Structure 1
Amino acid sequence: MTPGLASVAPVRGVLAAALLGAAFTSAVACAPAERDFQNAAATGTSSAQGTGGASGSGGDGGTGGAGGAGGVEGCDSALSPAEDVCVLQDRLGIFVAPSGNDLNPGTRVAPVKTLSKAIELAARGKMRVYACADAFHEPIDVRPGVALFGGLACRDQWQWKGDGAKTTVATEPGVVPAILRGGEGTTRIEDFWFQAASAAAPGGSSIAVLAVGATAELTRCTLAAGDGAAGGPAAPVSPAERGPSGMVGIPACVGANLSSPPTVNPACSESVGGAGGASTAGAGIPGTAGLPAIGGGNGGNPGCAPGTPGARGEDGGPGKGGQGLGRLTRAGHEGAAGGRGAPGRPGQGGGGGGSTAGGLCLPQLLNLAGASGGSGGAGGCGGAGGDGGRPGGVSIGLASVGAALVLTDVQITAGDGGTGGVGGDGQPGGEGGAGGPGGPPNGGVQGGCPGGAGGAGGAGGPGGGGAGGSSFGIAHVGAIPRQKSGVAIVVGAAGEGGPGGNTNAAANAGEPGAAAAVQELAGG
């Protein structure tokens, strides 16, 4: 988008213009105007030379020379290049051009190459950076109190021409072009274009400028954010564990009061298959019921009856869809992910099989114990709940966290918010283990009864969809940035919320994002 132009303040006068345009017709693009001023003072010449007496001589000529030097000494160093070109001096700031070298001192004839280096040098005392109206492909971290003046025609003696030229700062996806830091002093930025690339990583955001506790004035700047990326899908979860099978019963004619023990699922210990009925020389004994007690898994009666199958575990509930607009922190924006589904409950263990009565065991013809029942199979574990979908990325032109900002003739553009990610499917519950066989017959005495099969675990609930990303021209925590004049804001479309898992059967999609020129957000 082509930024609008503010009215241009007049330059100081013929004296400064003549001196800044003097001499230095070399192949070097950026001529040292400060040296023009110094030469004028040293030789006694000036723009008023024609009325100042004999050139290079004393008397009135000397007075004319002093008048030329006064044009430099009278320069108000608090002004910007747009207000007075006299401030474009080596002694007042650090000069930077893409054709420069970071080993240079940062003068007009020997500029540094990167904005980061220029800011570093300026922070040592001069506190000003003068930048070519070219593109710099680097993020910058602006220290408090440093002033950045861009849009300068460094191939034409570093003039500010008021033609809408901008110094562009562009970065790779996921990198904020400019971060303004808080501290003592007011940061000034004039004639810059901050371009944030559209996000590439799932759920990534695009933010052009992030101000953290800074006091700053932005003038004739463009802040352009790209699109936020769609949120990533939920992470997969591990399948539920199957229940172990029950133990085989004790054979007949072995001994009394022996039984197959309960069967415990080691992955979800509350699911237990019932013990088989114990062997006995008398009447058979029933098996015990499986756990947890949810309506099945009864032990088999003596005489003999098998244990009954365990009941299926209860399904887990769905996770909530991502809600709200997220929060703005010192590190950027954090969106609202979908909630995780609840896990399913373990299946009930099968009941233990009943034992048989004792009898005359051959060949001893002694009245010995019968066979015990097999233990019930353990229930399967409940399925894991589906994970929540990730939030869509946001697009924000200016993000202000506890900052005090003033905007004049600033153009702000935000892209589209990203779609929220899909919630994960709930995992099915594990299968129950098979019931253990009854103790085998022996010596003419019949075998015991089998245990019941364990119940399947309940399915996990589906994860909620992630919230959609938003499109904000200005997002702030704390004070609203002050818009003095000439501020234009254009926003994109809000991202839709992601659907919940299991094809959104539980209607747990994430909320859509929002689109607004100015939006207050929660901090964090």
Structure 2
Amino acid sequence: MQNTLKAEGEACDADEECESSLCDKLPGKSTVCFRRCSQECKSGDICTPLAVNDRFACVPERPGLCQSCALNVDCPYPGDKCVEIGGAKVCARDCSFDGVCPSSYRCADATDTNGEYVTKQCQPISGTCECTAATSGQQKPCSETNNIGTCMGVQTCKPPNGYDACSAHVPSAESCNGRDDDCNGQTDENLGDTTCGVGECRRTVSNCANGAPQTCIAGSPNTELCDERDNDCDGMTDEGFDKSTSLEHCGACNNPCIRANAVPTCNAGMCSILNCLPGWTNADGIDANGCEYPCTPTGAEVCDGVDNNCNGQTDEGFGLATDPNNCGVCGRVCNVNNGNINTYACVAGQCTIATCTTGYQDCDQTYASGCEQHTQSDVNNCGMCNTRCMTANGTPACTNGMCGIGSCNAPWDNCDSNVMNGCETNTNTSLSHCGACGNACPTRNNAQSSCNGSCGFTCNPGFTDLDGNAANGCEYACIPTGLDDPDDSATDTNCDGIDGDAARAIFVHPAGDDSAPGTRQAPKRTVQAGINAANTATKPHVYVAQGVYADPGTVTLRNGISVFGGFNATTWSRAGSFTTTVRGNTINGGNIIAMQGAAISLPTTVGYMTIRAMDATSAGVSTYGVHCVTCTALTLRSVNVIAGAGGTGTAGTAGSTGLAGFNGNPGVNGDRDNNSGGTGGPGGASNCGRAGGNGGAGGWNGATGSAGATGANGTSGGAGGGGCSACFGSCRSGDGVRGSNGTTGSPGGDGSGGLGSTFVGNFLVTGSGGSGSTGGPGNGGGGGGGAGGQDICDNVGGLSGKGNGGGGGGGGGCGGTGATGGGGGGSSIAVFLVSSTGIRLENCELTSGNGGAGGAGGQGGSGGSGGSGAPGGNASTSEIGLGGSGGNGGTGGRGGHGGGGAGGASYALYCSATVATIVNPVYSYGAGGAGGVSSGTAGAVGYAADTN
């Protein structure tokens, strides 16, 4: 799109006409386009407001700085002010846009001759416009003007001669010299162009370029082409090309003469058809589209769908526009199968319907569908087209061309037999026609009758249909006041006939069945089944009828499932006289727990029942009525909790007798005549490392017998017998000394007595008695000393003898084993709470039984007997001494006795890490269990108190 915006200096009427978007005027001047100061002013221009407080624009600089003035209007531009400088009134120049001033001037505020404060005016830096020695070199603008233009310059202060001549040159006509001769801001402008050559050789150059005159040189010619140009620069165009007859350049260069399906010809520059190709005809007589019609003439026209005479028409003259038997096309017979059409017509070659079969009409005006509407039965075209049958709240019918009611939309019905108002009665809401026409709803006692497809009623305020019998209406006088949780008053606050909310509860009955759904009519049998069913069905209550419930195992509470007893077994009314008892008698982990819970963090209540843990009949079993861990949101309300007696602790087992030591072995006989035999017998073995010492060997050839070996653990052996020597006569060597008996082993330590109950693993555990230790082993007996040797010498040759060997000492007996301690007695605790701060006990009676007695400690086992020392050798005792007998082994020490078990505790309430809220409690507790007896240390008596 051509740019029509106006350049700087052109006349304008509005900003949007200018390239700069600034259309304005100076006082007394016409409106033109200005350059904006933000676009940077040209050399020789300055930025100033076009009027007082007006927009800024670039304008030619005019002399005026330091020019004498009387008023502001005496200065060149509206923004320039007449100010007093150095005692003289002179013109300043506006510099408020960019603060730029000529050399020797500064941009500063001033006071004009009217005494008004003005801002941003260029003023001499020296403070005066006078040319003095102090202002030497100061300049002020000046100009030279004639009929050609105005040239700007400056005058410079050169004292004492004042300002010198104006430096501006005199305006002159523009010449080609690279200078702005006429001072209009342009250089070498309007000096014209020169043209030379013809055709494609024609050239045009500016007469002046870059301050130098220019010469025009024509271009070089080329070979002539057919292109509407003078290529060879001879003043003629396309010579040599015949555009009148050339098929390539017909009428114009490069305009080929081509006609479809024809032989073309170019005549006087016009392309036409010379003749058509075989099989084609120029039926429309237009050369431009060639021989467009594929046709070969065969003769006169016949009705066969072919243009036989190639005149561009087919089957002309055969009435195809009106003949129903040749409608539009030869042989096309108008017919619509099953169209219910009586007669046909052909209009403009299109089959149409003339008349319909009686009872039918062409309502959609479409030939292909025939007379499609049976107006005797069509509800949208009943009797005639577009007559629509309407039935309010029902389906209309059309019979013999008359509208009627076909059927009514349930629950609507035509109870007044009037076709005009359709199905006027809603049998879901009409009290006179409820469910069907004529079925009126009866009046009920204390109720308002209603209809919802069948008769019903709504109870009047203060009455409820509790028995579900419509005949007696709302027979139950009750005003609902809110949610109904079983409470101390046993009041029915939601009017469902019971204290509680039957819709939010599972019911339990002694004669129920755990496979039943848990309703009042089909209750569960066990309390646990009721709790589990409530948890699955997300019902928060379980209601338990009067009776005794011995659930298999412990009843385990569920988070947020409350259990209430005290309901009548027949009517499910609730009162304090209807007693519900939950009994626990199953041992699990050494405890009988009637009811337990864990992690009860949602409001959960157990109320109006007795919870009993039965007496423990097995050793050491504790009983808990209620056992709860982290039950911070549990409430026990009006509950009687009873814990049975704890079981007696198991008795400790007796220790076993220690193993006996083995007997020592006899010493070997010596020989009075030689050095054979006489070895000491080995000491008896011991199963606990206390063997007897070996017997000493008999001496030889008059030597002293060897001492018996020391028995295990330091029992000394007997000394050897002294030897004898005789060179004349005879002598008898000394007997070996008997070994010392081993000492008896020390008795084992007795086990400690069981201490009181301690809190272990969320249960109260009673201490068992300690086991006794094994008795110390008896020491082995010392070995018997060997007899001395005999030395006989005489003149006839003497014989030396070997003394009898000492007997081995007996092995020490082993200590008896320690007995085990008695087991702790079972505790009895009515309510046991662990980490359950927040729990509440309201109006509860808590009773614990006696703690079980601790079990008796077992007797320590007897020590094993020591082995007997063996006799020494006894041969030839008339000449050689007897071997010393071995000492007997010591008896093992007895085993320690087992300590007695501690007695079980009895608490009505036991709390661990729990701060409970307790209202109106009744406590009763039994005796603590007696400590178990022991021959060593008896067990401690069990603790007993209301609470721990």
Same fold (TM over 0.5): yes
In 2: Cα distance, 1:356 partner to 1:75 partner: 117
Aligned twin of 1:197: 614
Query: Which deviates further from its counterpart, 166-175 or 443-452?
Result: 443-452
Aligned twin of 1:461: 896
% identical aligned pairs: 33
Aligned twin of 2:546: 133
Are the structure 2 counterparts of residues 53 and 511 from structure 1 closer, same or farther at C-alpha, using a change threshold of 3 Å?
Answer: closer
The residue type equivalent to 1:115 in the other structure is V
Query: Which deviates further from its counterpart, 341-350 or 304-313?
Result: 341-350
- Indicate the SS of the match to 1:191: strand
Aligned twin of 2:693: 274
Query: Paired residue for 1:110, among 516, 519, 522?
Result: 522
Deviation at 1:418, TM superposition (A): 2.3
In 2: Cα distance, 1:78 partner to 1:155 partner: 20
Query: Which deviates further from its counterpart, 487-496 or 227-236?
Result: 227-236
Query: Paired residue for 1:244, among 643, 655, 662?
Result: 662
Q: Tell me, yes or no, if the aligned pair for 1:114 and 1:136 is still in contact at 8 Å.
A: yes
The answer to whether the aligner puts 1:288 opposite 2:709 as a matched pair is yes
Aligned twin of 2:565: 150
* Structure with higher RCO (Cα < 8 A, 6+ apart): 1
Deviation at 1:65, TM superposition (A): 7.8
In 2: Cα distance, 1:212 partner to 1:278 partner: 78
In 1: Cα distance, 2:835 partner to 2:579 partner: 27
The answer to whether the aligner puts 1:346 opposite 2:777 as a matched pair is yes
Are the structure 2 counterparts of residues 341 and 298 from structure 1 closer, same or farther at C-alpha, using a change threshold of 3 Å?
Answer: same
Query: Which deviates further from its counterpart, 76-85 or 222-231?
Result: 76-85
Q: TM-score w.r.t. structure 2 length?
A: 0.44
In 2: Cα distance, 1:57 partner to 1:211 partner: 52
In 2: Cα distance, 1:426 partner to 1:85 partner: 71
Aligned twin of 2:917: 482
The answer to whether the aligner puts 1:226 opposite 2:644 as a matched pair is yes
Deviation string for 1:437-463 (max 9, x for gaps)?
Answer: 324537975552221111111222322
The answer to whether the aligner puts 1:398 opposite 2:398 as a matched pair is no
Deviation string for 1:68-122 (max 9, x for gaps)?
Answer: 89999x8855733646464755541221112111111111111111122222222
The residue type equivalent to 1:324 in the other structure is G
Are the structure 2 counterparts of residues 290 and 217 from structure 1 closer, same or farther at C-alpha, using a change threshold of 3 Å?
Answer: same
Deviation at 1:52, TM superposition (A): 4.4
Aligned twin of 2:940: 511
Q: Tell me, yes or no, if the aligned pair for 2:832 and 2:909 is still in contact at 8 Å.
A: yes
In 1: Cα distance, 2:655 partner to 2:897 partner: 11
Q: Tell me, yes or no, if the aligned pair for 1:173 and 1:206 is still in contact at 8 Å.
A: no
- Indicate the SS of the match to 1:425: coil
The answer to whether the aligner puts 1:308 opposite 2:722 as a matched pair is no
Are the structure 2 counterparts of residues 440 and 102 from structure 1 closer, same or farther at C-alpha, using a change threshold of 3 Å?
Answer: farther
Deviation at 1:224, TM superposition (A): 0.5
- Indicate the SS of the match to 1:455: coil
Q: Tell me, yes or no, if the aligned pair for 1:328 and 1:476 is still in contact at 8 Å.
A: no
Deviation at 1:500, TM superposition (A): 2.0
Q: CA RMSD in A?
A: 3.4
Q: Tell me, yes or no, if the aligned pair for 2:459 and 2:465 is still in contact at 8 Å.
A: no
Query: Which deviates further from its counterpart, 98-107 or 432-441?
Result: 432-441
The residue type equivalent to 2:539 in the other structure is K
Aligned twin of 2:926: 492
Count of aligned pairs between the two proteins:
455
In 1: Cα distance, 2:493 partner to 2:790 partner: 117
Deviation string for 1:18-74 (max 9, x for gaps)?
Answer: xxxxxxxxxxxxxxxxxxxxxxxxx9xxxx96564446589x9866589989999x8
In 2: Cα distance, 1:78 partner to 1:278 partner: 105
Query: Paired residue for 1:470, among 897, 901, 905?
Result: 905
Are the structure 2 counterparts of residues 375 and 464 from structure 1 closer, same or farther at C-alpha, using a change threshold of 3 Å?
Answer: same
Q: Tell me, yes or no, if the aligned pair for 1:354 and 1:448 is still in contact at 8 Å.
A: yes
Deviation at 1:286, TM superposition (A): 0.8
Aligned twin of 1:436: 870
In 1: Cα distance, 2:856 partner to 2:893 partner: 22
Aligned twin of 1:93: 505
Are the structure 2 counterparts of residues 389 and 480 from structure 1 closer, same or farther at C-alpha, using a change threshold of 3 Å?
Answer: farther
**Gapped regions of structure 1 (runs ≥ 5):** 1-42, 520-524
Q: Tell me, yes or no, if the aligned pair for 2:739 and 2:887 is still in contact at 8 Å.
A: yes
Equivalences for residues 47-66 of structure 1 within 5 A: 50=445, 52-54=447-449, 64=459
Deviation at 1:350, TM superposition (A): 0.7
Q: Tell me, yes or no, if the aligned pair for 2:657 and 2:815 is still in contact at 8 Å.
A: no
The residue type equivalent to 1:477 in the other structure is S
Equivalences for residues 298-337 of structure 1 within 5 A: 298-303=716-721, 304-330=736-762, 332-337=763-768
In 2: Cα distance, 1:393 partner to 1:57 partner: 67
Q: Tell me, yes or no, if the aligned pair for 2:642 and 2:848 is still in contact at 8 Å.
A: yes
In 1: Cα distance, 2:556 partner to 2:541 partner: 14
Deviation at 1:482, TM superposition (A): 2.6
Are the structure 2 counterparts of residues 341 and 446 from structure 1 closer, same or farther at C-alpha, using a change threshold of 3 Å?
Answer: same
In 2: Cα distance, 1:251 partner to 1:141 partner: 85
Greater share of helix: 1
Q: Tell me, yes or no, if the aligned pair for 1:326 and 1:333 is still in contact at 8 Å.
A: yes
Aligned twin of 1:21: none
Deviation at 1:305, TM superposition (A): 0.9
Are the structure 2 counterparts of residues 516 and 371 from structure 1 closer, same or farther at C-alpha, using a change threshold of 3 Å?
Answer: same
- Indicate the SS of the match to 2:529: helix
In 2: Cα distance, 1:159 partner to 1:145 partner: 23
Aligned twin of 2:247: none
Q: Tell me, yes or no, if the aligned pair for 1:261 and 1:275 is still in contact at 8 Å.
A: yes
Aligned twin of 2:885: 450
Deviation at 1:207, TM superposition (A): 1.9
Q: Tell me, yes or no, if the aligned pair for 2:668 and 2:677 is still in contact at 8 Å.
A: no
Q: Tell me, yes or no, if the aligned pair for 2:656 and 2:860 is still in contact at 8 Å.
A: no
In 2: Cα distance, 1:255 partner to 1:70 partner: 125
In 2: Cα distance, 1:64 partner to 1:78 partner: 20
Deviation string for 1:444-500 (max 9, x for gaps)?
Answer: 7555222111111122232222222221111222214331x1211111122222222
In 2: Cα distance, 1:69 partner to 1:53 partner: 12
Deviation at 1:414, TM superposition (A): 1.0
Aligned twin of 1:39: none
Deviation string for 1:171-219 (max 9, x for gaps)?
Answer: 3374221111225534321112111111212333222111123332111
Query: Which deviates further from its counterpart, 102-111 or 277-286?
Result: 277-286
Deviation string for 1:228-267 (max 9, x for gaps)?
Answer: 233232112222211111223334358579543343312x
The residue type equivalent to 2:922 in the other structure is A
Deviation string for 1:384-416 (max 9, x for gaps)?
Answer: 233222222221111123334310111101112
Q: Tell me, yes or no, if the aligned pair for 1:260 and 1:372 is still in contact at 8 Å.
A: yes
In 1: Cα distance, 2:927 partner to 2:610 partner: 22
Are the structure 2 counterparts of residues 315 and 418 from structure 1 closer, same or farther at C-alpha, using a change threshold of 3 Å?
Answer: same
Query: Paired residue for 1:123, among 531, 535, 544?
Result: 535
- Indicate the SS of the match to 2:530: helix
In 2: Cα distance, 1:52 partner to 1:399 partner: 53
Q: Tell me, yes or no, if the aligned pair for 2:704 and 2:787 is still in contact at 8 Å.
A: yes
- Indicate the SS of the match to 1:116: helix
Q: TM-score w.r.t. structure 1 length?
A: 0.78
Deviation string for 1:343-377 (max 9, x for gaps)?
Answer: 3211111111112234589xxx9756444322211
The answer to whether the aligner puts 1:377 opposite 2:377 as a matched pair is no
Are the structure 2 counterparts of residues 186 and 250 from structure 1 closer, same or farther at C-alpha, using a change threshold of 3 Å?
Answer: farther
